[in-house]
Structure 1
């Protein structure tokens, strides 16, 4: 299937080589979700011992690409429906910081390349399934990471990128997410890139995270959270229960003094 080949002239650990080869096989889909992974078989195919293979699988497990159950099985991770929303929110928040720092300093060549790639992404988002969108989004992510001059932020996103995007591999992705809002966010990002506007380029990712959060239906009650948000917008300064900007009114919360102005305002809701 594949053979581990260290780069000539460099000292590379077999563990790192095995991890990168296995990661590439999983991301490409040649190792399918749920497929069992046998240490002995992988070691034979990689041309190394079982120890670096096991270490590589442990690293991939921490990235969320492999599921390990002691004395039971080791297999390629299976994306779950409940992971789609948290993965998109985490990706949007991390990506927003990288984009804000990278966009103002883009070279003319990088700006033109990103503008074109974002256009391709918009076209792919109209196609069914997750694969066309994932294939078009990956080079966009990589380009922004390479253009970001903050190595710590870039490393944080790069280390989690594969695991987060892997969780978005869902055949019902268009149904699970507010797809039109996300597509509008890509349009806004494309405009911000063309104008080298870092602040505006960060907003689409964060707005998408907020929209995906408030679009969910609550466990109890007959109205959705998005409906509660719209009703609260008519009363300035008042947020519905559960809103992230509404402080807790629990008796244990000492940040709101009894009888204070904030306490009176919340009591009136």
Structure 2
């Protein structure tokens, strides 16, 4: 018969998953910079993981646009093209807008309050024109929407793509390309929509934040 245990189940992750998470984190926090070449031996020493799961992890990260690979030439952190920034922002806004629209109607009171607090934090850094903090807090905000999304199929289909787009957006962000006016308008609209449980208004607010109406 099964032996009962009072201990909670331990989450087991493969070495490949560990490598993906650590390399991904290093890319997003700037430890690994855009265009930086990656050497298998150096990655093995840093991660303490053998070559095979590292190569598998790099292939996974290449599929979502965080790594670029050319056989016999290089493996490097992706080097996004600033000329594609508007396309990237519009695509990101369309995907996040869809997730927000699906998520808002089912939010409970506690979830709404937490999201409103996060939106208020973003509004403060937008008013301060703090580009770095806006990047960090806005991603935490939209990640919270993804976490709260009740449609697991939608999340599974978009999360990795959103990761790649978010990186391409942050790597090409400058003061000149940051539309503070759109954000000053969009985040209060998003807060109001979340408080009211208005899914369509929330989606439109996200579209405004990401400037879906901008000309390519």
Q: TM-score, normalised by structure 2?
A: 0.86
Deviations 1:40-66 (A, max 9, x none): 111122222211111111111111111
Distance 1:61 1:20, change over 3 A: same
User: Could you tell me which residue of structure 2 aligns to residue 134 of structure 1?
Assistant: 135
TM-superposed deviation, 1:157: 2.9
Q: Which runs of 5+ in 2 are unaligned?
A: 1-8
Aligned pair 1:93/2:94, yes or no?
yes
Alignment partners' CA distance in 1, 2:10 and 2:52: 23
Any runs of at least 4 consecutive aligned residues in structure 1 with deviations exceeding 6 A, and if so which? none
Task: Report if aligned partners of 2:122, 2:134 keep a CA contact under 8 Å in 1.
Answer: yes
Q: TM-score, normalised by structure 1?
A: 0.70
Question: What's the RMSD between the two structures over aligned residues?
Answer: 2.1
Q: What is the count of residue pairs matched by the alignment?
A: 207
Task: Report if aligned partners of 1:129, 1:170 keep a CA contact under 8 Å in 2.
Answer: no
TM-superposed deviation, 1:176: 2.4
Distance 1:172 1:23, change over 3 A: closer
TM-superposed deviation, 1:139: 1.6
Higher relative contact order (CA 8 A, sep 6+): 2
Deviations 1:161-191 (A, max 9, x none): 2211111125653422543123312221111
**Higher-helix-fraction structure:** 2
User: Could you tell me which residue of structure 2 aligns to residue 210 of structure 1?
Assistant: 212
Task: Report if aligned partners of 1:130, 1:169 keep a CA contact under 8 Å in 2.
Answer: no
Task: Report if aligned partners of 1:177, 1:212 keep a CA contact under 8 Å in 2.
Answer: no
